[in-house]
Amino acid sequence: GAGVSQSPRYKVTKRGQDVALRCDPISGHVSLYWYRQALGQGPEFLTYFNYEAQQDKSGLPNDRFSAERPEGSISTLTIQRTEQRDSAMYRCASSAGTGGYEQYFGPGTRLTVT
Amino acid sequence: GESVGLHLPTLSVQEGDNSIINCAYSNSASDYFIWYKQESGKGPQFIIDIRSNMDKRQGQRVTVLLNKTVKHLSLQIAATQPGDSAVYFCAETYNTDKLIFGTGTRLQVFP
């Protein structure tokens, strides 16, 4: 595609529900990254993949958060038993390779947990 | 759209002037640095990058300077235009693709 796409753009859910956020990277991009961005702050790293392999998940806040990229393209970030503190903008980025390649960011999914 | 940087440091410049945005990075071992521009309601957009073996890199109207001695990065924008108004973030990384973003700076350009 022309750029990184994410869906849904907005998600409102009730506390305790599970949510799945989708990222569709730029076609052919090897690496895919998930970040979380609070208002007024820079993106905070969550996890990233090279192809289908999850390389680093050190930024995931706790075990309610998980991510997968089973075929090395589309990725899903899942949050189980959502809590109000999970409310944030979740951003996905992709890059053509590793080791200093430009990361292209998607428009994000705004998650609100009520 | 979503507002980015509600309470960020702000730099106000007049159209046509040069802008300098500064960033202090945290890890002396970081070897790759990037500047991103983020407009309201949009994701961060790559501007320019620099590796730790360089002190200066120039792009179109933008220059990045790296001072490893004091762990300082700056972004210079020449002939600032209204379209440059946004929040600017520096990011660093060390031997990995995990970007660590700094505190942003809001750039406001007045006609």
Q: Span B76-99, mean pLDDT?
A: 92
B93: chain A residues, CB-CB within 8 Å: 100
Nearest to A48 among B98, B100, B102 (CB): B98
Residue B62 to chain A, least CA–CA distance (Å): 17
Q: pLDDT (tens digit, 9 = 90+) per residue, B6-26? A: 568 999 999 999 999 999 998
Give CA–CA dist B99/B70, Å, rounded: 20
Mean pLDDT of all residues in B38-49: 93
Residue B102 has pLDDT above 50, yes or no: yes
Average pLDDT over residues B56-76: 96
Q: Residue A79's beta-bridge partner residues?
A: A19, A65
What pLDDT does residue A63 have?
97
Q: Where are the beta strands (DSSP E) in A38-105?
A: 44-50, 53-56, 65-68, 75-79, 88-95, 104-105
For residue B70, pLDDT beyond 70: yes
In A25-64 the beta strands, taken as DSSP E runs, fall at 31-37, 44-50, 53-56
Interface residue of B87, B98, B106 to substitute, partner A, most A CBs within 10 Å: B98
Mean pLDDT of successive 10-residue segments in chain A (114 residues)?
A: 90 98 96 93 95 95 98 97 97 86 92 98
Q: In the predicted model, is pLDDT for residue B83 greater than 80?
A: yes
| pLDDT at site B98 | 86
- Reported confidence tier of residue B2, pLDDT bands at 50, 70, 90: very low
